[in-house]
Amino acid sequence: MATERVSLDRKQERADLQADLQLTIRELKKKKAFPMRHRWMVMILGGVGCALLAGAPIARAQDAQPPRMRQAQSSPATPDFTGIWEKSRSTFPGGSDRFAPEEPPMTAWAEERYRAARQGVLHPLDQGREDVDPMLYPYCMPPGMPRIHLRGQAMEIIQAPGRVYFLFEAGPSMLRIHTDGRKHLSNPPPSFMGDTIGRWDGDTLITETVGLHDWTWLDSAGHPHSSALRVEQRIRRPNYETLEISLLFDDPKVYTRPWTAKKVYRLRPDWEVLEYLICEDTVQEKYTQEVLGGSEGP
Amino acid sequence: MGKIVSGLMLALAVSVFSLPGVSQAPSGGASKGIPDLSGVWDRPGAGNLARISPTGPEALSSAGGGGGGYSNFIVAERPSMTTWGKERYDAVRVGLKDYDDQPPDALDHERYCYPRGPTRMFTGGAWPFEIRQMADVVFFFFERDHWVRRVFMDGRGHPDGYLVTWMGHSIGKYEPDTLVVDTVLVNDITWIDGLGHPHSTDAQFTERFRRSGRDQLEYTIRVDDPKAYTKPWEGKRVFEVMPRSFEIMEHVICEELLEMGAPRNPQP
């Protein structure tokens, strides 16, 4: 069965990756490890301390509270970005399809690819050609990173120890940001959302994404990118209702210099994240006709 | 000075021992009525099929893994279907002889790039998932097509007039050692399991998650769908905790079927 084949492929890929991950984790632990000569003392004192503090109010409070609140207590300086966010209206014409009002500094190769993706497009602010857009039928790929930031659907952020999750309604897609100090995988398999690490710097979360497929467009206008694309995000919450994401795109194979953009999101506390499937209305209707014979259920 | 050093070390030691997520073993939340189910779970070596319990319905109430028998999704007895349910079931099992046979790919909704649906994520083939327990929501993050299930834990009910969706609407509550999830309004194109058991949009799924051992997660499901089945039925599966270095990866459904990744673009 094809499903099984995919599973087996994934298992092999996973097995290769786990070895890589184990190395990364080991490096991390080594970096954080106490000198062995002090460990016994720490353990003894820790044991005594834990016994003495077994009934302490803080410990009891942490146990009684849900994980989200525990996290907030354990790192009080960490900004809270949790919530459901909607991308704000663009500040320049065509901004729903591209990151910057001016053209990014493309290499000759990129110029050629960009022209091909826009051949026959009448207005300079329109999207790229639909028949070669990787997100549209028959390709139906996820928007991927960073194009996901141009989608109009909701984005939910949740924070956990060592992780921040960006859950995008479109796709659906997920950006996992490792904030536990690890490095990138040494050879991450290409993926649509990439391999992302991050760190907190005051009120800002700084992230770096690599390991992206070169199949996707960088934006809806048709700007290309290579698998060497590195996306940096600087995310901060200037006020309760606003989330600012400053982006930097660094792809020397495609752009002659790094270039930047900014997206602003507005908090939507009364929203729920729903489902938005790419190509749901085109590819998948075949099943209803071919297998179910048009049946709509009882 | 010595007291200061000792104090610092004591504080350091306490903080080290209280670091969140040092192990994926239970962290003691169960004593407060919130079982700690967080972590990445998988069923290595599991098949893609559902099985009839060899020992009948009583097997579902036993605590153990039955010698590995629960690597597959186990149902106590064959679900008793209504005429509508049987028609749907038979439509995707053309030419199959045995109950355990998997429907052909050509009739599987997944091959048409439909999502797997909420229950088949657990009852179907071997793909890992992550559980994250937040204050008001429990998240299931699935590697399979990077889906997310949200279980609202804030006491709300199922809203009137809510949409029928691929993952449905889920609410939950904690029992002493169990997360109980109630899901309705699931798109009826999805199957309950890998055998093609159908359901209607009126189906109600009650899923229960609990740690049946230090490294085991027991999943049980009760299917209540009078339009598809003459009586409710139940199934069970056991998952294993994965090491902390085990990461959920990215899978995109139909990546291999559509023209995704076709070398259409020359590279720089």
Q: What are phi and psi of A204, to 5 degrees?
A: -120, 140
Instruction: Tell whether the model's pLDDT for residue A30 goes beyond 60.
Output: no
C-alpha A98/C-alpha A294 separation (Å) is 39
Which residue, among B250, B254, B255, B257, would best test binding to A if mutated, counting the most A CBs under 10 Å from its CB? B250
At residue A288, the pLDDT reads 66
CA distances from B179 to A26, B70, B140 (A): 33, 19, 12
Chain A environment of B114 (Cβ under 8 Å): 284, 287
Instruction: Tell whether the model's pLDDT for residue A262 goes beyond 50.
Output: yes
Nearest C-alpha of chain B: how many angstroms from A143? Answer: 12
- Is B10 in contact with A45 (Cβ distance < 8 A)? yes
- Is A138 in contact with B254 (Cβ distance < 8 A)? no
- Contact pairs from chain A to chain B, CB under 8 Å: 192
Query: Which residue in the block uniquely carries the two structure tokens 């009525």?
Result: B33
What interface predicted TM-score (ipTM) does this complex get? 0.77
Chain A environment of B12 (Cβ under 8 Å): 42
Which residue, among A16, A45, A48, A182, would best test binding to B if mutated, counting the most B CBs under 10 Å from its CB? A45
User: Quick check: A249 and A259 in contact, CB under 8 A?
Assistant: yes
Can you spell out the DSSP letters for A100-155? -SSPP-B-HHHHHHHHHHTTT--STTS---GGG-TTSTTT-----TTGGGG--S-E
Is the pTM for the entire model greater than 0.80? no
User: Quick check: B217 and B237 in contact, CB under 8 A?
Assistant: no
Looking at per-residue pLDDT, the higher value among A286 and A126 belongs to: A126
Give the model's confidence band at A256: pLDDT under 50 very low, under 70 low, under 90 confident, else very high: very high
The set of residues, in sequence order, having a beta carbon less than 8 Å from that of B86 and lying 6+ positions away, is none
Interface check for A2 against chain B (CB to CB < 8 A): the answer is yes
Looking at per-residue pLDDT, the higher value among A257 and A135 belongs to: A257
- Is A6 in contact with B251 (Cβ distance < 8 A)? yes
At residue A101, the pLDDT reads 93
Q: Which CATH architecture has domain A83-281?
A: Beta Barrel (2.40)
CA dihedral angle for residue B142, residue B147, residue B153, residue B157, rounded to 10 degrees: -140
At residue A76, the pLDDT reads 56
Instruction: Tell whether the model's pLDDT for residue A88 goes beyond 90.
Output: yes
Per residue in A271-297, pLDDT (tens digit) is 989 888 888 777 656 666 666 665 544
Interface of A with B in 252-291 (CB under 8 A): 253-254, 272-275, 277, 279, 283-284, 286-288, 290-291
Chain A environment of B48 (Cβ under 8 Å): 1, 3-4, 7
- Is A139 in contact with B260 (Cβ distance < 8 A)? yes
Instruction: Tell whether the model's pLDDT for residue B17 goes beyond 50.
Output: no
At residue B102, the pLDDT reads 85
Chain B environment of A213 (Cβ under 8 Å): 261
Per residue in B140-166, pLDDT (tens digit) is 999 988 899 999 999 999 999 899 999
Per residue in B177-195, pLDDT (tens digit) is 999 999 999 999 999 998 9
Per residue in B203-257, pLDDT (tens digit) is 999 999 999 998 999 999 999 999 999 999 999 999 999 998 888 888 887 776 6
Q: What are phi and psi of A35, to 5 degrees?
A: -60, 140
Per residue in B105-141, pLDDT (tens digit) is 888 888 778 889 999 999 987 789 999 999 999 999 9
Annotated domain spans of chain A? 2-73, 83-281
